[in-house]
Amino acid sequence: MPNRLPAPQLIVYDMDGTLTLPFLDFDAIRRDLGLNQGTILEHLRTLNETDRQAATLILEQHEARAAEEVGLQPGAHEVVDFFREAGVHQAILTRNSRRSVARLVERFQLPISHWYTREDGPVKPDPQPIHDLCRSLNTTPANCWMVGDYLYDIQCGRSAGASTVLMLGDAVIPEYADLADLVIRELRELLNAYELSGTT
Contact of 92 with 112, CB cutoff 8 Å: yes
Dump pLDDT digits (tens) for 46-89: 889 998 899 889 888 988 998 999 999 999 999 999 999 999 99
**The pLDDT value given to residue 2:** 47
The three-state secondary structure class of 6 is coil
Give the chain's domains with CATH numbers: 10-21+71-196 (3.40.50.1000), 26-69 (no CATH)
**The pLDDT value given to residue 180:** 97
Q: Cis bond leading into 125, ω under 30°?
A: yes
**The pLDDT value given to residue 36:** 80
The three-state secondary structure class of 170 is coil
Write down how long the chain is.
200
H/E segment holding residue 68 = helix 49-69
Residue ranges in the chain modelled with pLDDT below 50: 1-2, 200
Cβ contacts of residue 120 below 8 Å, gap of 6+? 98, 129, 132
**The pLDDT value given to residue 1:** 41
**The pLDDT value given to residue 26:** 83
Global pTM reads: 0.90
User: In 10 A of CB 154, how many CB atoms?
Assistant: 27
Q: How far is CA 148 from the centre of its chain?
A: 5
How far apart CA 49 and CA 53 sit, in angstroms, is: 6
Q: Starting at the edge strand that comes first in sequence, how are the strands of the sheet with 144-148 ordered?
A: 114-116, 89-93, 10-13, 144-148, 163-167, 182-184
User: In 10 A of CB 30, how many CB atoms?
Assistant: 16
